[in-house]
Amino acid sequence: MTTPSLISRHRVSKLLLFTLAATFAFVRFDSSGAEPIRFGRDVLPILANHCFACHGPDETKRKANLRLDLEADAKAQRRSGSPIAAGEPDNSLVLKRMTSTDADVVMPPPSAHKQVTSAQIETVRRWIAEGARWGLHWSFEPVARPDNATIDSLVSATLAKKNLALSPSAKPHTLVRRLWLDLIGLPPSPEVADKFAANSSPAAYENIVDELLAQPQFGEHWARMWLDLARYADTKGYEKDLGRTIWPYRDWVVNALNADMPLDQFTIEQLAGDLLPNPTQQQLIATAFHRNTMTNDEGGTDNEEFRVAAVKDRVDTTMQVWMGLTMGCAKCHTHKYDPISHREYYGFYALFNQTEDNDDYNDKPTMELLSSKEEAERKHWKERIQSLLDQIKPLEEAAEKAHAVAERNWQAPAVAETISKDGATMAAQPDGIITVSGKAPPEDTYVVTLKLPAGTHTALRLEALTEKAASGEPVIGRSGWFILSEIMAELMSRPIRLTNARADYAEAKESITAALDGDEKTGWSVKSQPQERHEAIFDFAEPLKLDTETKLRVTLSQQAGDTKTLRRFRLMTSDIDAASLQPRQATAEMRKLRDELAGAYKAQKDFNDNLVRLPFMRELAADKQRTTKIHVRGNFLEQGEAVQPGVPAAFGQWPATAPRNRLGVAQWLVNKDNPLTPRVWANRVWARLFGVGIVETEEDFGAQGATPTNPELLDWLAANYRDNGWSLKKLIKTIVISKAYQQASETTNELREADPRNVLHSRGARFRLGAEPVRDQALSVAGLLSSKMGGPPVMPPQPAGLWRSTYNGKAW
């Protein structure tokens, strides 16, 4: 509330003001006939705005060890007197400082540029004279529902103080258009408007209200408000701003509003649906509310830094959306105006600091959302692949028997050493098979040292073996397949030339000979058949004739990028005539089945790649829970003392049966004793229907926020909302059937003078339509408005070249 309107409720005699100012008489202010000053509503905003920066909760900025936010400190006797002497305004140091003409004494100091007005001084003087009764900030006090009241009686009572009354009802055509735009964001057809104009009885009006509340467009229209608060976006933000599949959450919000889901359930499922017993898919989808935080996909960033930023965003959003408090001010220091300490901020942060998400590129954890058709398709590919494997298995077993004799010509030398030059982890098994795990660099060079036994060695064989990936699909490379750029060999530091390369399979333009051409930009690839074993044979240009065990070093260079590197392989040698050694060749029938299997795996992969994967919230396992510490001055790299999860003490106790996690937070927010949640939400709905809230600062109900223009009306709405099962539709209907809502918006000179901004609701509200209703009106009138609901976001028509994204591939 602005100062003039605040003072207008407490007007005093000009003569008495003059006398007080001139004589500083030691008399108690006579407030008979005037409404008593209330600390939380009238005085606290003045102290908060003008005094708390130096004499408030923040210990780091406090001057003279004086606190004016605590009653005991403010009224304590000091050497020079009491800051606030109850009943003695002229003996109160606060008033003496406020009224001083000495620039070195007056408070706030001139350098603060926060001079207290004479009206504000008089408010403080009256309050002290009346006994300086302390109290809570108005929004922290319990909701007090006025008895036997209605919206119209409470609005009329406020208007009567200005000698005003409610304006007449708007014309029927105006009223029906107002209803349609406010409730579903669309204009009525001329036929609908004319029908109401012909019968605008209260019953007919109420029928229209009920019909509009039942329309599916209601959920779409009112979801705009919530999705803005949820910071909903179809991209991740930051530098790359890549796309994100989050639209199923948007659809959940629309459906929840259409179903009139009670606010307590709406709150619990979004903040902690995953923590409910046996959560449903819909309850898990709801938790994407807090996955709307930004993700930084830029290379070289610290995932922990941006994970912490996301958690802080969740803390700040939760408190601002439900409680109307700027808790974010306390992340670096104790809040300067509201009772939230630096430590309490991180106690609340601890409640949100135990989830699995970690600013990863893949947005994990995610959940797959399949339609019944997609479930059937997934089953089809699983069964098709299994059928092909079952057909291939006996053919492979027969081939193994056929190759058994030839296989005796190959021996697996013992592996002396394995090295990954780019940091992967390599391990050799007794049978000579080498596995690669851990770090997966885009390019890598493996160096394998073999212990060749005494004797003759004529050829070297590389077996590329498959391994099951996380998906269960067999793959031959670390990213699905591999490209061997070059293969080289050394015997006792002497290069050994390899020749006559041959393989069981190779891509048309990536043959095995490319592994011996000395050009690392080329290589051997089996991209089209990554689900099966492959082999390549290389002859030694001259047979190796060894008298004793000798070490052979084999280098496998893989420089194609994108982690196209071997993940499981074996090196073997032979002692027979190299000309007789040939790679295994599959039969025509086996090749046909393997081609079909490769096609089935590809189709399955394409299917899986295109599934909807929604980011959602999931709590860390008990043994992986983080210890939360205070971030000194908000810096996550400079951590102080450990803190326990909890809520700021000033806002009520933790519910006795609530767990110390996000579920407990949700239950605390909608607890019947919480005065802020119902006030904030009722005010938010009122603002959507009247253009401005009863509290104009919708997201700040703290000491720096505006005071309510009609406190009794706000509490009546809050109590009505809470006590009627937190029903949004009931609250909206209660408001729109009131005479206050139905008033004509025409004004007069008298109304403009007495209520220039219409904050007292002396006439119908006038405010601009939002962007979406403006667009939808144009489309509706033109007959182009689509009635389709839900699904992925669309790219509406737009001139070429107007918008494009460098990274996310989206364009018109």
Q: pLDDT digits over 724-777, tens only? A: 999 999 999 999 999 999 999 999 999 999 999 999 999 999 999 999 999 999
pLDDT at 810: 62
Q: Closest Cα to residue 382, out of 472, 466, 467, 465?
A: 472
14-18, 306-310, 594-598, 623-627: range with lowest mean pLDDT = 14-18
Higher pLDDT, 174 or 104: 174
Beta bridge partners of 434: 428, 569
User: Quick one: average pLDDT of 263-275?
Assistant: 98
- Quick one: how many helices (H) and strands (E) in the chain? 26, 20
Q: Residues 658-683: pLDDT tens digits?
A: 999 999 999 999 999 999 999 999 99
Beta strands in 547-611 (DSSP E): 550-558, 568-574
User: Quick one: average pLDDT of 598-623?
Assistant: 93
pLDDT score of 10 more than 50:
no
Beta bridge partners of 110: none
pLDDT band at 711 (very low <50, low <70, confident <90, very high): very high
pLDDT score of 25 more than 60:
no
pLDDT band at 604 (very low <50, low <70, confident <90, very high): very high
177-181, 361-365, 554-558: range with lowest mean pLDDT = 361-365
pLDDT at 7: 24
Higher pLDDT, 30 or 735: 735
pLDDT score of 52 more than 70:
yes
User: Quick one: average pLDDT of 485-499?
Assistant: 95
> Roughly what angle, to the nearest 10 degrees, separates helices 190-198 and 172-184?
130
pLDDT score of 14 more than 80:
no
Q: Residues 77-122: pLDDT tens digits?
A: 988 889 999 999 999 899 989 999 888 889 999 998 889 999 999 9
The distance of Cα 109 from the centroid of its chain, to the nearest Å, equals 42
429-438, 482-491, 547-556, 585-594: range with lowest mean pLDDT = 585-594
132-136, 290-294, 509-513, 715-719: range with lowest mean pLDDT = 132-136
Q: Do the beta carbons of residue 632 and residue 638 sit within 8 Å?
A: yes
Q: Do the beta carbons of residue 409 and residue 402 sit within 8 Å?
A: no
Report d(CA 526, CA 586) in Å as an integer: 15
> Roughly what angle, to the nearest 10 degrees, separates helices 711-723 and 676-690?
110
Tokens, residue 467: 């391994």
pLDDT at 34: 66
Contacts of 226 (CB under 8 A, 6+ apart): 253, 257
pLDDT, the chain, mean: 90
pLDDT at 29: 39
pLDDT cut 90: percent of the chain above it: 74
**Residue 314: how many other CB atoms lie within 10 Å:** 23
pLDDT score of 11 more than 80:
no
Q: Residues 222-237: pLDDT tens digits?
A: 999 999 999 999 999 8
User: Quick one: average pLDDT of 231-248?
Assistant: 91
pLDDT score of 799 more than 90:
no
Q: Closest Cα to residue 530, out of 575, 453, 588, 468?
A: 468
pLDDT at 406: 78
pLDDT at 503: 95
User: Quick one: average pLDDT of 114-139?
Assistant: 92
User: Quick one: average pLDDT of 778-792?
Assistant: 92
pLDDT band at 407 (very low <50, low <70, confident <90, very high): confident
Report d(CA 170, CA 178) in Å as an integer: 10
User: Quick one: average pLDDT of 333-347?
Assistant: 94
Q: Closest Cα to residue 729, out of 674, 685, 672, 770?
A: 685
User: Quick one: average pLDDT of 353-377?
Assistant: 94
pLDDT at 804: 67
Q: Do the beta carbons of residue 232 and residue 272 sit within 8 Å?
A: no
pLDDT at 9: 26
29-43, 86-100, 473-487: range with lowest mean pLDDT = 29-43
Q: Is the pTM of this model over 0.95?
A: no
pLDDT at 812: 53
User: Quick one: average pLDDT of 507-516?
Assistant: 94
φ, ψ dihedrals at 20, nearest 5°:
-60, -45
pLDDT band at 702 (very low <50, low <70, confident <90, very high): very high
pLDDT band at 30 (very low <50, low <70, confident <90, very high): very low
pLDDT at 809: 60
Q: Residues 287-308: pLDDT tens digits?
A: 999 999 999 988 888 999 999 9
Q: Do the beta carbons of residue 41 and residue 35 sit within 8 Å?
A: no
Contacts of 237 (CB under 8 A, 6+ apart): 294, 295, 296
Domains of the chain: 3-135 (no CATH), 410-580 (2.60.120)
pLDDT at 808: 59
Higher pLDDT, 641 or 468: 641
User: Quick one: average pLDDT of 240-268?
Assistant: 96
